[in-house]
Amino acid sequence: MKIAILSPIAWRTPPLKYGPWEQVASNIAEGLVESGIDVTLFATGNSQTKGKLMWTCQKPYAENAEVDAKVEECLHISHLMEHAHEFDIIHNNFDFLPLTYSRLIKTPMVTTIHGFSSPKIIPVYKKYEDSTHYVSISNSDRSPELSYCATVYNGINTNEFTFNKDPEDYLLFFGRIHPEKGTAEAIEIAKKSKRKLIISGLIQDQEYFDQKIKPYINDDDIVYVGNSDSEARNKLLGRAKALLHPISFNEPFGLSVAEAMACGTPVIAFNMGSMPELILHEKTGFLVSGTEEAVQAVGNIHLINRNECAKWAWSMFSREKMVERYLKVYRDILGQK
């Protein structure tokens, strides 16, 4: 079986820091390679893979202001499609644009829908659902207007996360700095529970950061450490008493939630989107309805068994588990056993 993995090119695959879609595409590619599958990764030229790498864009366009993102995306997608006949399956992790090629090629295409940026893109998915196969990353993120062949939870490379049974006494916010991710709410929860909060993430909304976050940063009880790389991520997640995830949108998955639990760190999350699928309430964390319940949960965090958190994450959200599920999807499409 020869598989082409199409990754986005906003960031490197895998990303040095932020880049969740690129991270998942990398985890799929590397997991398939370890399973003995012939994999070609279509990503940026500076990407890293144990499989074959093909590219048209040397550097991520998010790091290169000299290029036009749409032009780079068109060149990237068309490059794969011109090689489509060389593969048994194309696995698209690059949103809806590649779907427009699906009736022009003979190679079956699997599209993992990593969330809908807007309801306005759903007509594209509807138009091409007869010529591609859709996979959701959680049951909660399924559109009632579309047909799906499977739900496959995102998998993490558990080798990159260290279990820590003796955490330090701080709470952690880990994610992009944006209103829908709840950075300001995390500060409120930490303040009310009289706990130190460490914030790590890409500043995606500068005005929000300047107005709602920056005034509270004092390098004492509210600390911002920037956009962390993989090594710092592992340390921050593993040493935290709990991860705060006070989202205000129906999040399709939430990689940091799975990553935190893999380190043994429980998660306190607002009960929205995929959170009930990721977190076992009162076993690997707490699902709460607002900041007041979150403060109460912080007071009860000692009741969570960190071993259970890691056990759950490894059993449900490992790279191996994800690859096993995708291989079943591929084989079902190709009519193989």
Give the pLDDT of the chain (337 residues) as one tens digit per residue. Answer: 999 999 999 999 999 999 999 999 999 999 999 999 999 999 999 999 999 999 999 999 999 888 999 999 999 999 999 999 999 999 999 999 999 999 999 999 999 999 998 889 999 999 999 999 999 999 999 999 999 999 999 999 999 999 999 999 999 999 999 999 999 999 999 999 999 999 999 999 999 999 999 999 998 999 999 999 989 999 999 999 999 999 999 999 999 999 999 999 999 999 999 999 999 999 999 999 999 999 999 999 999 999 999 999 999 999 999 999 999 999 999 997 5
Strand positions, DSSP E, the chain: 2-6, 38-42, 52-54, 89-92, 109-113, 133-136, 150-151, 170-174, 196-200, 222-224, 242-245, 267-270, 285-288
Report the C-alpha gap between 63 and 79 in whole angstroms: 21
State the alpha helices, DSSP H only, in 155-229.
183-192, 206-208
Supply 171's token pair. 């709470």
Q: Which residues of the chain does CATH 3.40.50.2000 include?
A: 2-155+318-334, 158-316
**In CATH terms, is domain 158-316 a member of 3.40.50.2000?**
yes
Per residue in 240-257, is it b (16+ CB within 10 Å) or e — as a string? bbbbbbbbeeebbbbbbb
Report the C-alpha gap between 136 and 273 in whole angstroms: 13
Residue 116's nearest CA partner among 305, 292, 253, 288 is 253
177 has which bridge partners? 203
Q: Quick one: pLDDT at residue 33?
A: 98
Q: Quick one: pLDDT at residue 117?
A: 83
**In CATH terms, is domain 2-155+318-334 a member of 3.40.50.720?**
no
187 has which bridge partners? none
Q: Quick one: pLDDT at residue 337?
A: 58
* pLDDT digit string, tens, across residues 265-288: 999 999 999 999 999 999 999 999
Which residues are within 8 A (CB) of 249 and not within 5 positions of it... i.e. 6 or more apart? 180, 272, 273
Q: Quick one: pLDDT at residue 118?
A: 86
CB atoms within 10 A of CB 287: 20
CA pseudo-torsion sign 273, 277, 280, 281: positive
14 cis-preceded (ω within 30 degrees of 0) = yes
Report the C-alpha gap between 326 and 305 in whole angstroms: 31
Which residues are within 8 A (CB) of 150 and not within 5 positions of it... i.e. 6 or more apart? 135, 136, 325, 328, 329
User: pTM for the complete prediction?
Assistant: 0.94
Report the C-alpha gap between 17 and 179 in whole angstroms: 20
Residue 230's nearest CA partner among 62, 32, 23, 50 is 23
Give residue for tokens 């994450």: 313
135 within 8 A of 149, measured Cβ to Cβ: yes
Give residue for tokens 């695959």: 13
7 within 8 A of 41, measured Cβ to Cβ: yes
Report the C-alpha gap between 275 and 251 in whole angstroms: 8
What values do phi and psi take at 193, rounded to 5? -95, 0
287 within 8 A of 271, measured Cβ to Cβ: yes
